[in-house]
Structure 1
Amino acid sequence: MAQIHLEIVTPDRKVLSQPVDYVGAPGIEGEFGIMANHVPFLSALGIGNLYYKENGKYYYVFVAGGFAEVNNNKVTILAEVAERAAEIDVSRARIAKERAEERLRIQKEEMDFARARAALQRSLARMRCRSSAETAGTCTM
């Protein structure tokens, strides 16, 4: 099977750079998939789980915000936040989820609901990412 090069970069670091068989990512308009020889493509990223297939196994990376560019058999993910599944601290994500849920319950006028909703979305996506990787048996550093 022909491969495509996947590179995931944040402002802080390069998270991943390697050839893969398939990439699935959360676009703001919905999930999209990329294989070798895909047409050039640009999309804003939403909050969710990017996954890629390599040698028959699926691997997961939590991403939040940024852009995905596909060109010349290369997928470049420029993400505001990206964490491999094994890097996710589930207990920290659970605490963030509970804190965001509590903020949404309070419903005070000065409360920034969009920010609380985004925090909740990020924490849930992190927990799903870790769970998916553990189920697939690919939750390693």
Structure 2
Amino acid sequence: MADPEKLFRVDVVTPNGMIYSHRGSIVDVRAIDGERSIMYNHVPLLTPLVISEVKVKRSREMDSRIDHIAISGGYIEFSNNVATIIADSAERARNIDISRAQAAKERAEKRLKEAREKHDERTLERAEVALRRAMNRISVYNTKGH
């Protein structure tokens, strides 16, 4: 069993409230400048995140449970052995409605095609973001082997 002093709190918060709060040994995130793995006693950090998957390893054991969370960007702050992720939206893999995610992907692809045909840059950018969000949710859902 992992030494409890080597675990730290990981919270994921959205405008709708707390989505996730557990202790973990490692949290993997994708910042705008690349991948980051944060462990106990990591230097203080505040960095923006991209649309991606967050992985939280719950203990230091080899067969430890890993929680997968889809986020739509945001920030991570790590200080005093607390990792706080503030995201526009976030969903744990087990809570993702795959049919809704696939429908969102199809809608985004349709809007993307229409925006390209009309040369509408603003709609194109928004559709690209919506597509990345939907694809991230699908990817995180599939990571859990559903």
Asked if these proteins are the same fold (TM beyond 0.5), I'd say yes
In the alignment, the residues of structure 2 paired with residue 7 and residue 39 of structure 1 have an alpha-carbon distance, to the nearest angstrom, of 17
- RMSD between superposed Cα atoms in Å: 1.4
Aligned to 1:68, the other structure's residue is in SS state: strand
Q: Deviations over 1:51-88 (max 9, x none)?
A: 11113121100111211001111101111101111111
TM-score, reference length from structure 2: 0.87
Unaligned runs of 5+ in 2: none
Q: Does 1:129 align with 2:140?
A: yes
The number of residues matched between the two structures is 135
Give, in angstroms, the shift of residue 124 of structure 1.
0.5
Spell out the pairing of 1:67-86 with structure 2 (5 A cutoff): 67-86=75-94
Counterpart-to-counterpart distance in 2, 1:124 and 1:38: 31
Do 2:52 and 2:73's aligned partners in 1 also have CA atoms closer than 8 Å?
Answer: no
User: Does the residue aligned with 1:45 lie in a helix, a strand or coil?
Assistant: strand
Which whole-Å CA distance do the structure 1 matches of 2:74 and 2:56 have between them?
18
Matched, 1:100 2:108: yes
Q: Distance in 1 between matches of 2:120 and 2:112?
A: 12
Deviating beyond 2 angstroms after TM superposition, the runs of 4 or more aligned structure 1 residues are none
Q: Counterparts of 1:1-141 in structure 2 under 5 Å?
A: 1=2, 2-55=6-59, 56-106=64-114, 107=116, 108-110=118-120, 112-134=123-145
CA–CA distance in structure 1, aligned partners of residues 29 and 71 of structure 2: 9
TM-score scaled by length of structure 1: 0.90
